[in-house]
Structure 1
Amino acid sequence: MTAVLTGIGGFLPPKAVTNDDLSRTLDTSDEWIRTRTGIRARRMVSDGLSTGSLAVEAGARAMRSAGVTGVDAVVVATTSPERLCPAVAPEVASRLGLGTVAAFDLTSACSGFLYGLATAAGLIDSGTADTVLFIGSEAFTTLVNQEDRATAPIFGDGAGAVVLRRGEPDEPGALGPFDLGSDGALADLLAIPAGGSRQRSADAGLGHGTVPTADWYLRMEGRPLYTQAVERMTQSALAVLKRADWPVADVDWFAGHQANLRIVRAVAEELELCEERVAVNIDRVGNTLAASVPLLLNDYAARGALRAGQRVLLSAFGAGLSWGSTVLVWPEIQAEPIN
């Protein structure tokens, strides 16, 4: 038995921020952002919306898609938690009316959806759960310095969710083999220095006022990250295709993490996949980290571009550094259009 995708849902906060909006406060322009990232607009939390509330909305839609009112476990992947403690997943489960089911968070930044899929599949494979609601949810713009032209235009907020059930390995929706990897030696290429135990221990007794303001926000080394992302996603995708015994020519859709349009296209080129088979929605939502891939899948499924029986390759890369890939044959499921 294995984990089978049986429902999907997504949610975006209502506040839309265009490149022109950003250019009013940043030394940037719509053309500068579009040519470097492929992004035209993104959604941002406001009015009290946060990671948990986004997760609840996406999770409810995924459960409706799957036709279920209960699950055995809830897993939330996020790098923008509600609080450092406790995890948000138990609260999400409670707000969804799921009772006292197992619920926990995991953190793997932009690779969170792939790591979370593997974790949720493990719960099912081990017999711990028959059904799992897995949600990637991010309010990451709250951790980005909105005065930093290198990072502020890139990120957006949102949540994407899937329901997995126990099923047969040869049925549509069954998750294929996984390829996961990391390189912690390069962790500082994408990091938020302050807020964790390392900074708190070093500054013990000095107070938060001694920490430079910039340390509370994301730092990114763009050029080396680009190289690493293309190399690692390509290698991971090829590895999982080999394990699944799928020729690249059999892939109908490449659903890569939406970090940067140039990265997605470069990976597709390395894989020798034509542009028509590359799924893209970064132009409208930006980089939503762990929510990126499920939002992309929901988007394409809801408008009929992603159809039952099509072969899908999933791959992501993010902070850690971390990366992962898997494959599946898309099942017959209904997806609600994302707001």
Structure 2
Amino acid sequence: MVDNDELSARLDTSDEWIRTRTGIGRRHVVGPGMSTVDMAVEAGRRALQSAGSADIDAVVLATATPDQICPASAPQVASRLGLGPVAAFDVNAVCSGFVYALATAAGLIAGGVSRRVLLVGADAFTTLLNPDDRATVPIFGDGAGAVVLRAGDPDEPGALGPFDLHSDGELSDLLVVPAGGSRMKTSQNPADSYFSMQGPAVFRHATARMAESSRAVLKQVGWTVGDVDRLIGHQANIRILHATAKQLGLPADSLVVNIERTGNTSAASIPLAMVDGVNDGTLQSGDRVLVTAFGAGLTWGSTVLRWPGVTPA
């Protein structure tokens, strides 16, 4: 765990500066020898324990920080959890990854390909950061969260509603790690190997797109804004969350928020917020929940559900 005072000791920043701009007080950072797969396995183990069964026939891992560029990390997660030769693959939509992967897992079930899917959102995003960059280091943390999806009836608690998914590749340079892929495998400029973002532009697009997508999915399911009990947004920045709720006309106390103690954990942020929301009583069985996210790509998307009676492991 790294708190703001520890960062302030080596960066030109302060606890007050970080909190007022991001709402973050501390964040987890992976130590030497720990990877995305390690975190994903632990999150998956807890989700399986909570579900009361390891009868899984697919693993979907939402991550932008796989252990290697090749192969995908999901098969390693499945193997280490002892799930056998099940289908397993990664989904990379960065901070929108969990919502995209949720739609993918729901599609596997709806299409009859799978009966029960383990969905994990995991990112060791601090490994992509320049340790001296005051603009990014205070914002991001590392983590993993997981859920189990199963086939069921459309009117039972936990049933996912429609999805609204979008992207805009023309703005991909707003959040980017230039080097490491097929276009630029290596670079003599160290900055090309680190994540960078254009903060003000990201703020504008994130709030507008999440609000727009939320309205679209509410229209599809036939809910009004007044029907929403809880909003679980990607935990990127407390000001983005509040601005999105305000644009939708939702009260700030409808938000499920844990960013103060996690930072932005990319694809892990929504499932981690779900777990904390259950543990602190914010999420109650039967709540009508709106889920929305925005990330690099650009990508964004939303869905809805009635919260089931679950107990995290």
TM-score by length of 1: 0.91
> Matches of 1:294 and 1:330 in 2, distance apart?
13
Shift of 1:333: 1.2
Letter in 2 for 1:233: M
> Matches of 1:76 and 1:70 in 2, distance apart?
17
Q: Which residue of 2 aligns with 1:330?
A: 307
Letter in 1 for 2:291: L
Task: After superposing the two structures, state which structure 1 stretch, 76-85 or 302-311, moved more.
Answer: 302-311
Q: Which residue of 2 aligns with 1:272?
A: 249
Q: Which residue of 2 aligns with 1:106?
A: 91
Letter in 1 for 2:81: L
Shift of 1:303: 2.4
The answer to whether 1:257 aligns with 2:234 is yes
> Matches of 1:70 and 1:165 in 2, distance apart?
10
Q: Is the Cα contact below 8 Å between 2:159 and 2:305 reproduced in 1? A: yes
Could you say what secondary structure the match of 2:161 adopts?
coil
> Matches of 1:65 and 1:245 in 2, distance apart?
31
Q: Which residue of 2 aligns with 1:239?
A: 216
The total of aligned residue pairs comes to 313
Shift of 1:305: 2.0
Shift of 1:70: 2.3
Q: Which residue of 2 aligns with 1:73?
A: 58
> Matches of 1:108 and 1:121 in 2, distance apart?
16
Q: Deviations over 1:5-54 (max 9, x none)?
A: xxxxxxxxxxx000110011111111111111110100000031110010
1:37 pairs, out of 22, 35, 40, with 22
1:307 pairs, out of 270, 284, 287, with 284
Q: Deviations over 1:126-159 (max 9, x none)?
A: 1000000000001010011110000010000000
Q: Which residue of 1 aligns with 2:141?
A: 156
> Matches of 1:216 and 1:152 in 2, distance apart?
15
Q: Which residue of 1 aligns with 2:38?
A: 53
The answer to whether 1:141 aligns with 2:126 is yes
**What are the residue-to-residue correspondences of 1:273-288 with 2, within 5 Å?**
273-288=250-265
Shift of 1:332: 1.1
> Matches of 1:260 and 1:275 in 2, distance apart?
14
Q: Is the Cα contact below 8 Å between 1:194 and 1:211 reproduced in 2? A: no
Shift of 1:105: 0.4
Q: Which residue of 1 aligns with 2:167?
A: 182
Q: CA RMSD in A?
A: 0.8
Could you say what secondary structure the match of 2:89 adopts?
strand
> Matches of 1:69 and 1:255 in 2, distance apart?
27
> Matches of 1:178 and 1:150 in 2, distance apart?
32
TM-score by length of 2: 0.99
1:219 pairs, out of 171, 190, 196, with 196
| Uncovered stretches (5+) of structure 2, i.e. residues with no partner | none
Q: Which residue of 2 aligns with 1:7?
A: none
> Matches of 1:91 and 1:70 in 2, distance apart?
17
> Matches of 2:188 and 2:162 in 1, distance apart?
44
Q: Deviations over 1:245-272 (max 9, x none)?
A: 1111111100000001000000000111
Q: Which residue of 2 aligns with 1:230?
A: 207
Q: Deviations over 1:309-337 (max 9, x none)?
A: 1111000000000000000000111113x
Could you say what secondary structure the match of 1:53 adopts?
helix
Percent identity over paired residues? 60
Q: Is the Cα contact below 8 Å between 1:22 and 1:28 reproduced in 2? A: yes
Letter in 1 for 2:10: T
> Matches of 1:45 and 1:159 in 2, distance apart?
11
Q: Is the Cα contact below 8 Å between 2:234 and 2:292 reproduced in 1? A: yes
Q: Deviations over 1:260-299 (max 9, x none)?
A: 1000000000111111111111010000000000000011
Q: Is the Cα contact below 8 Å between 2:256 and 2:282 reproduced in 1? A: no
> Matches of 1:251 and 1:90 in 2, distance apart?
37
> Matches of 2:312 and 2:207 in 1, distance apart?
30
> Matches of 2:153 and 2:131 in 1, distance apart?
47
> Matches of 1:213 and 1:191 in 2, distance apart?
14
Q: Which residue of 2 aligns with 1:12?
A: none
